[in-house]
Amino acid sequence: MINQLPIYACGEIVRGFGRGSKELGIPTANLSREVVKTLPDCLQTGIYYGWGNVDNGDVHKMVVSVGWNPFYSNKEKSVETHMMHNFDCDLYGRILKVCIIGYLRPEKDFVSLDALITTIKSDIETAKALLDSPENQKLQSAEFFKGEIKKC
């Protein structure tokens, strides 16, 4: 399914497991289970990168985890997006749009919380560099991110 990218997803930001900001120090904007169910069945789980915006604001770099988060043994598949921007406000209830353009790695379990955090920080740095390429920058201005704010 990786050759089927980019994939666009949109939905209201909902409360997740409360781990991103508090436990990991890496805040995430989570999409609802309904949005997760709309993703193509053949999209493999893992860590992806791309572009995202909130309420049709500026488009920022992002990384997104699609899957089960083996370290936490989640029972439900989730889509957890880390926007590479400090919003300094509560995003719950706002509309998140993401354009998933590349695959970084499969999801995996970790021996410790520190190992998980180190890997996520490495994923973020790798995504930043990949998104700087001219080819990937083109999607930052995709028509998908423009227009009326509405429930997707």
Known catalytic residues are: 80
Question: Which of 114, 146, 123, 128 minimizes the C-alpha distance to 85?
Answer: 128
Cβ contacts of 129 within 8 Å, gap of 6 or more: none
Show contacts of 41-44: CB within 8 Å, 24+ apart: 42/1, 42/4, 43/1, 43/4, 43/7, 44/1, 44/2, 44/103, 44/106
Helix (H) or strand (E) holding 81: strand 78-83
